Chain A
C-alpha cells in the first residue's frame, strides 16, 4: 500500500473518509427531522423551508462556500457562537470541510428520506396507536423502521456527495494538506503541479473504488431491508 501511495495521498484519502463520514452521520438526525417535517407537517413556511433545504443543490458550490465563510468564519456570527459556546472552530479546519460537505449533501439526504416517509402507509401508524403507542413510540417503532430504506439511501447519497465535494470546501476552508485537503482538493492540487499526473490518476482510481464500494454496499443493504419492509 505504502509503495503504491505516498503519505500525502494516504492522508488525503483518510481525511476524505473522515470528513465524509462525519458529514453524513452528523447531518442524519437533522435530515430525518427536516424530512419528517416536510413530509408530514402542515405549517406556514413549509414551502420556504423546502426551498432553503434545496438551495445548496442549485446554487454554485462557490456561493455556498462563500456564504459559509461569512457565517461560520471566526468573525462570522455563527462561527463566533460555536467557538464561544462549544469551542468548535470551522474556519480552515477539517470540521469546516465536514460542515461544507454535510450542507452540500443535505438536500439529497432529505429528499431520499422524505420520499420514503411519504410512502409509508399511515394506517400502520394508526394501528400502532390503537395498541397503546404514543406519538413518539409510533415514530420510533413504526415510522423510522419503515423509512429505513430511504434513510439508507439518504446516507449513501450524502456520503457520495461529500466524497466528491470540492467547490464549497475549497472556498470555505481552503486546501491545507493534512487539515482540509480532501481527495478532490488533492487531485486538483496535483494537476496544477508538474509531474503530478501519475499521483492524480492514482487518487482518481482510489476515489472511484471507494464510491463503487459504497454503492454496492448500500444496494446490498437496501435489498435486504426492502425484503423485510415490503409486505
Chain B
C-alpha cells in the first residue's frame, strides 16, 4: 500500500500543511498533542475536507480539491479505530462487530468473525453490551469492528491513550499480531514514544501542523533535532539468544555486542525491539573496569550536537544503527569527545524496559 498525501487545511489559527508518502507496514504519526495528527487522520478517513490538496491511496483518489473529487467516508474502505472506541451503545458486541461487515459487499470481504474474534481474544464478549465492557475490551472490540469491514488500510488514532498501563500492555500484542499476521497497512497516531518504537516501521514526526521528519523508526528517533523536546533515544533491533530466568535477564544478540534486558518471556530467535533513552546512555573512553552496567556496546561518535546550556546530544553509530546519548557539557570537555572517536556506550539493563 502506498498513500500520498498533499493537503492544506486551516483550523482556526492553526494551519495543517502536510505532504508525505507512506509505504506498507505501520506508519506512525508521532507528535505532541495539538500538533495536527488527529486532524490529518480525519482528512484521510473523509471525516473532514481539506481546503486544498489531494489524498491518493494505491492509485485511488480519495479527495482532490482541484478536480472536485470527494469520496465519502463510507466508500473509502479505510478502517478507523478511535481513541474512545465509539462502540454503538444500543448494539451488542456481536452486532457492533458485524456492523461494517454487513455493509461490505460479499466479494470484497476478508477475514471472518471467528478469525477476528480469535485474533483479538474477544470470544467471551459477543453477547454483552458495550456498557458492560472494560476499557481494554471496548478497544479490542473497536479494532475488531474496523477489521470486519474489510478495510484496505487501518487508521488508529491513539487507541491506547485512554487506557492505563496494564490495559495498554493487554492490547499492544494484539496490534502487533495484526501487523505481523494480517500484513494490514496501519497508520498509527500516538504521542507515546514507547508505542511508536514498538510498533512502527516508518515514523512521521509532525510538529505544528507540518511534517518535521519522516523515515525508519531508528533514524527519526536518533535524529536529535527532530526529537529535541521529547525523550530522545534510539531503537535497536536485536535477537533473543538466551534466557536466564535465574539471573533475571534475557540475553540478546546485536552487531555492536550482546545486550542484556530484564527477563522477558520471548522464544529464542525472536526479534525484539528495544528503546534506549539518550539520558540512560553513559559513554566511556577506553575499556571500562568491573561495572554493574550490563550492556557495553562498541560505538563511534558521528556528531557532537549543539545541545542546550547544560547537556549535549551525541550521535553514535552502534553496529551500523544510530543511537543517541545525552551527556553534560563538562563530560564532553573532560573526555574530549569529538566526531570519529571510538567509545563504549554503557546502558544499565534495568533501563531497558517495556519492550
Contacts and interface: CB of A to CB of B under 8 A. Distances in A.
Interface of A: 121, 123-124, 126-134, 137, 141-142, 145-146, 148, 228-231
A119 to B, nearest CB: 12
B269 to A, nearest CB: 39
Interface residues of B, number: 29
Given A126-B73, A231-B130, A231-B131, A132 B100 contact: yes
Given A230-B131, A231-B131, 9 more contacts: A128-B88, A130-B79, A130-B146, A130-B149, A131-B146, A132-B100, A132-B103, A133-B103, A142-B88
Nearest to A231: B89
A129 B86 contact: no
Interface in B132-170: 145-146, 149
Interface string B35-76: 000000000011100000000000000000000000011111
A129 B74 contact: yes
8 contacts: A123-B82, A126-B86, A127-B86, A128-B99, A129-B73, A130-B79, A132-B149, A148-B90
Contacts of B145: 131
B216 to A, nearest CB: 29
B36 to A, nearest CB: 18
Nearest to B75: A132
Contact of A124 (B88, B131, B149): B88
B49 to A, nearest CB: 13
B104 interface: yes
A141 B90 CA distance: 10
B88 to A, nearest CB: 6
Looking at A124, A126, A127, A128, the one whose CB has the most chain B CB atoms below 10 A away is A127
A133 B74 CA distance: 5
A145 B129 CA distance: 15
Contact of A228 (B79, B99, B103, B129): B129
B74 A134 contact: yes
Nearest to A130: B80
Contacts of B72: 129, 134
A229 B45 CA distance: 26
Looking at A132, A137, A148, A228, the one whose CB has the most chain B CB atoms below 10 A away is A132
Contacts of A137: 74, 103
Nearest to B48: A126
Looking at B73, B82, B84, B149, the one whose CB has the most chain A CB atoms below 10 A away is B73
A148 B89 CA distance: 13
A127 B82 contact: yes
Contact of A126 (B47, B89, B130, B146): B47
Nearest to B103: A132
Contacts of A127: 80, 82, 86, 88
B222 interface: no
A69 to B, nearest CB: 44
A88 B78 CA distance: 51
B98 to A, nearest CB: 10
A124 B130 CA distance: 13
A229 B89 CA distance: 5
Given A130-B73, A131-B103, A132-B100, A229 B90 contact: yes
Nearest to B150: A132
Contacts of B78: 130
Nearest to A148: B90
Nearest to A127: B86
Contacts of B84: 123
Looking at B46, B75, B86, the one whose CB has the most chain A CB atoms below 10 A away is B86
Contact of A131 (B46, B47, B129, B149): B149
Nearest to B99: A131
A130 B47 contact: yes
Contacts of A130: 45-47, 73-74, 76, 78-80, 146, 149
A130 B88 CA distance: 13
A123 B86 contact: yes
A3 B39 CA distance: 72
In order of increasing CB-CB distance, the 7 nearest A-B pairs are A131-B100, A132-B103, A231-B89, A127-B86, A130-B80, A129-B73, A145-B90
A229 B131 CA distance: 9
Looking at A130, A141, A145, A230, the one whose CB has the most chain B CB atoms below 10 A away is A130
Contacts of A126: 47, 73, 86
Contacts of A121: 86
A230 B131 CA distance: 8
Contacts of B130: 231
A123 B73 CA distance: 13
A230 B103 contact: no
Contacts of A132: 74-75, 77, 100, 103-104, 149
Contacts of A134: 72, 74
Contacts of B88: 124, 127-128, 142
